[in-house]
């Protein structure tokens, strides 16, 4: 079974320790749901961007956590 994991990086691409410790995910959807719930805490904790891996294969990234601010809908 594949394991989906996030790599947490500073803006220059160096790996950083995440403010929220992730689990190992069994699906891409679970991994993406988790990042959707925790990106603000991760960003405040010093993560600027993330990369998604399936086992050792990079699926996509770097994905900036700062770009999300402009796209986030206002909550009433």
**pTM of the full structure:** 0.82
What mean pLDDT value characterizes the chain?
Answer: 89
- Assigned domain for 22 exists: yes
Please report which confidence band the pLDDT of residue 2 belongs to, taking 50, 70 and 90 as the band edges: confident
pLDDT value for 23 = 83
74 — phi, psi (to 5°)? -70, 135
In this structure, is residue 76 part of a structural domain? no
Domain that holds residue 16: 4-71
What separation in angstroms does the CA of 34 have from each of 7, 12, 76? 13, 23, 23
Query: Between 74 and 49, whose confidence is greater?
Result: 49
User: Residue 67 above 90 pLDDT?
Assistant: no
Q: How many domains does the chain fold into?
A: 1
At residue 1, the pLDDT reads 79
């Amino acid at each position: 079974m594949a394991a989906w994991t996030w790599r947490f990086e500073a803006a220059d691409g160096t790996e950083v320790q995440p403010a929220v410790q992730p689990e190992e995910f069994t699906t891409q959807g679970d991994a993406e749901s988790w990042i959707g719930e925790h990106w603000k805490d991760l960003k405040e904790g010093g993560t600027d961007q993330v990369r998604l891996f399936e086992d050792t294969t990079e699926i996509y990234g770097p994905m900036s956590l700062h770009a999300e601010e402009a796209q986030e809908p206002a909550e009433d």
